[in-house]
C-alpha cells in the first residue's frame, strides 16, 4: 500500500507527495533513528519519529516543527555515505532517471525521483503557511 501525504484546502489539493510504500517511509524513519538518533526514536526528531503513520494528520504547528527537523536531517544525512537502493521501484526509478546517490540523503526520493526531504519540507511549508494539516492517505 502506498503512502501519499498531502495538504487540502476544502476540496482543493494544494500540495502532495507520493512517498512510495509505507515501508519506504519506514525505512527513512529507521535510517534517521539508527544514524542520527543513536537508536532512540524521537530523541532528536520527535515530530517525525513519534508520529504514527496511521495517525492520519500532522497539524499546521507540527508541520512547522517538522520542517525544522527535516532541515537538520537533510544536513546530517548528506554527510553520510550512501546505502544500496532496495530492489523494486526505487532501483527502477534511479535507473530510468540516471540517479546515482552520492550520500545517504540522495538515497531517499519520491516516486518521481525528486528528493524526499525537499518534497516533505515543501509540503510542511505549504501546511504551515496556509494553517492547514498534512494528511496521510
Q: Is 0.95 topped by the overall pTM?
A: no
Dump pLDDT digits (tens) for 23-41.
Answer: 999 999 999 999 999 999 9
Task: Kindly state the greatest CA–CA separation across the chain.
Answer: 42
Dump pLDDT digits (tens) for 42-86.
Answer: 999 999 999 876 668 999 999 999 999 999 999 999 999 999 998
Give me the pLDDT at residue 54, please. 66
- 82 CA to centre of own chain: 17
Give me the pLDDT at residue 55, please. 60
57: β partners: 135
Dump pLDDT digits (tens) for 69-128.
Answer: 999 999 999 999 999 998 899 999 999 999 999 999 999 999 999 999 999 999 999 999
The contacts of residue 38 (CB under 8 Å, 6+ apart) are: none
Task: Say if residues 37 and 43 touch (Cβ distance below 8 Å).
Answer: yes
Amino acid at each position: 500500500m502506498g503512502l501519499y501525504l498531502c495538504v487540502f484546502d476544502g476540496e482543493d489539493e494544494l500540495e502532495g507527495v507520493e512517498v512510495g510504500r509505507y515501508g519506504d517511509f519506514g525505512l527513512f524513519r529507521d535510517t534517521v533513528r539508527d544514524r542520527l538518533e543513536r537508536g532512540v526514536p524521537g530523541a532528536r526528531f520527535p515530530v517525525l519519529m513519534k508520529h504514527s503513520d496511521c495517525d492520519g494528520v500532522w497539524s499546521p504547528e507540527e508541520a512547522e516543527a517538522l520542517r525544522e527537523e527535516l532541515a537538520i536531517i537533510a544536513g546530517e544525512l548528506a554527510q553520510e555515505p550512501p546505502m544500496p537502493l532496495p530492489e523494486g521501484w526505487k532501483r527502477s526509478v534511479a535507473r530510468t532517471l540516471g540517479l546515482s546517490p552520492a550520500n545517504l540523503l540522495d538515497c531517499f526520493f519520491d516516486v518521481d525521483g525528486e528528493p524526499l526531504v525537499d518534497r516533505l519540507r515543501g509540503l510542511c511549508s505549504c501546511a504551515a503557511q496556509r494553517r492547514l494539516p498534512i494528511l496521510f492517505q
